[in-house]
Structure 1
Amino acid sequence: MTDPNKMIINLALFGMTQSGKSSAGNIILGSNDFHSNFSPCSVTKDCCLARSYHLHNFMRRGGQEITLQVRVLDTPGYPHSSLSNKHVKEKVKEALIHHFGKDGLHLALLIQRADMPLCGQEASPHVQMIQELLGHAWKNYTAILFTHAEKIEKAGLSEEEYIQEAPDTLLTLLNSIRHRCIFQYSSGNSFNEQRIPILKRILEFIKENSYQVLTFK
């Protein structure tokens, strides 16, 4: 029986190699479930689902305190240093169906380094993969999480100024997803200090979608 005072949100992480994807997943979970370290090649080779501990009194819904649990699917970097694009897409598609086929996906997080903005005339490969796997509704279920956002501060820019000066490719993507973006600051912030603002923003986006989910067959 479903507990009305408990909410589970399902997230999937996408991004390029060394974008900070697995590290961001660990921050969202509040744990170290995903293997994350600096490497000149892709670290993640398989899709991995992890669950957070229950967060009590984190949010209210209908006047009631809701216990929150987050499920996060980490995916291999795309393009990958040792796996073909076709193989990665097949792995991710299978994982989405297996883990979220019935319960659905609340949000896909595109992990993007703030110091390496999207450039070029066409959508990047990892954006194209999201479009292919999520289908025509991808715009409604995608947000960008900018890692290394402390480098924006070091450059003397605010988040708004960073967006205003972003390349056209990034601005086009942000316009497509209704400017749903999150900035992750690492320097000087504890794990929990990074986690709470990110979770609050994620919940804002999910609420904007009226808690709807994207299912997979």
Structure 2
Amino acid sequence: MTNNKIVINLALFGRTQSGKSSAGNILLGSTDFHSHFAPCSVTQECSLGRSCHLHGFMRRAGQEIILQVQVLDTPGYPHSNLSMQHVKQQVKAALKHHFGQEGLHLALLVQRADVPFCGQEASYPIQLIQELLGDAWKNHTAVLFTHAEKMEEAGFKENEYLCQASDTLLCLLTSIQHRCIFQYKKGNFINEQRMKILEKITEFIKDNNFQVLTFK
């Protein structure tokens, strides 16, 4: 972070077919990550994407701050081809290589809004985040709900959805200070969604005093 530029580092975690790569593309405003429907796990290895410089996003002391976002996409688990140990080793190496001393601002746990968050499979990405980020994981994690338009189609507002969520999800949200974001896919409003999500992420990072997790 310099006087007039902020780089936000994000890592995406979540189950297979949760929408991580698609969410990463929305965050970057690009198509850096390969994303499509498939009967198997699509993402096979970690990859980093960088957004262009965003102007007019925020100001500090009367000066315009330029924002850039870096997103690390990771394989989901359970994975159709990779073991948990392989996924863990790969993500650990990628965090060290891409963020290292520069640090990670937030781990985004990507969860489909139209899939219940419960059972053993729901716990795998959380376990991975805990092991990789250590004791400070609660201060550096937020939940990103994808396919939120499905929730809206079913007649739920965001607060109603959260009130009826599983105990597992409610417990997780409590532990991470209720940091969560809803992502909607609405045709021509994708860029508007992107800006709202980035504003929310920036709020979380500000609340955390721009602290980062470093990887040696």
| 1:143-188 deviation line (CA, Å, top 9, x unaligned) | 0000000111111111000000000000000000000000000034
The one-letter code matched in structure 2 to 1:180 is: R
> Which position in structure 2 is the counterpart of 1:92?
91
Root-mean-square deviation (CA, aligned residues, Å) is 1.3
> Which position in structure 2 is the counterpart of 1:168?
167
The one-letter code matched in structure 1 to 2:29 is: G
> Which position in structure 1 is the counterpart of 2:143?
144
Question: TM-score scaled to structure 2, two decimals?
Answer: 0.97
- Kept in 1: contact 2:15–2:122 (CA 8 A): no
- Kept in 2: contact 1:121–1:169 (CA 8 A): no
CA distance in 2, matches of 1:177, 1:102: 24
Q: 1:126 to 1:53 in 2, by over 3 A?
A: same
Runs of 4 or more, structure 1, over 2 Å off, are 120-123, 187-191
Shift of 1:117: 2.4
> Which position in structure 1 is the counterpart of 2:155?
156
Structure 1 residue ranges without an equivalent (≥5) = none
CA distance in 1, matches of 2:117, 2:100: 30
- Kept in 1: contact 2:104–2:212 (CA 8 A): yes
> Which position in structure 2 is the counterpart of 1:207?
206
How many aligned residue pairs are there?
216
- Kept in 1: contact 2:15–2:121 (CA 8 A): no
Q: 1:131 to 1:147 in 2, by over 3 A?
A: same
- Does 2:51 match 1:52? yes
- Kept in 1: contact 2:32–2:49 (CA 8 A): yes
Q: Report percent identity of matched pairs.
A: 71
- Kept in 1: contact 2:107–2:141 (CA 8 A): yes
- Does 2:193 match 1:194? yes
CA distance in 1, matches of 2:17, 2:188: 20
